Amino acid sequence: MGASTKPNRYAYMAVNELREHDHPVIAYGQRPGTVADVAIETEWNPDWKVDTVTLYLNPTNQEPYHDRIIALRPKRVIFNPGTEHARFMFDLRQNGIVAEAACTLVLLSIGQY
């Protein structure tokens, strides 16, 4: 979440790295475009099947998505640096979803994603 077509953005780098590691990706952002071989979705789909949500939205911009993310029932949500949100992390855990403060790019680089 927070996908961008700007190469200097970590969300852009994450989509590229996820694809290089052969992970399927749904990129969600405010503006349409393409990163690697992935079209950026600008409309929320409550029927998406996802294992992991990786956040590149600051805590304020995440708030409208709290209930939507919980409803997706991912196994985990990764809060990349600067996106940590204590209350949302608590709510995720209360719903049986792993909430992890980590860096997607680092996890990929060390084989821990």
Task: Give residue-wise pLDDT tens across range 37-91.
Answer: 999 999 999 999 999 999 999 999 999 999 999 999 999 999 999 999 999 999 9
| pLDDT for 41 | 98
Helices (H), the chain: 10-20, 59-62, 66-72, 86-94, 104-109
Report the amino acid identity of residue 44. Answer: W
CA 49 to centroid of chain Cα atoms: 13
| pLDDT for 103 | 98
Q: What is the DSSP letter of 39?
A: E
CA 7 – CA 109 distance, rounded (Å) = 18
pLDDT per residue as tens digits for the range 8-23: 999 999 999 999 999 9
What is 10-109's CATH topology?
A: Rossmann fold (3.40.50)
**Exposed (0-12), middle (13-18) or buried (19+): which is 29, by Cβ within 10 Å?**
buried
CA 96 – CA 46 distance, rounded (Å) = 18
Query: Any idea where the domains of the chain sit in the sequence?
Result: 10-109
CA 38 – CA 102 distance, rounded (Å) = 23
Contact 77, 53 (CB under 8 A): yes
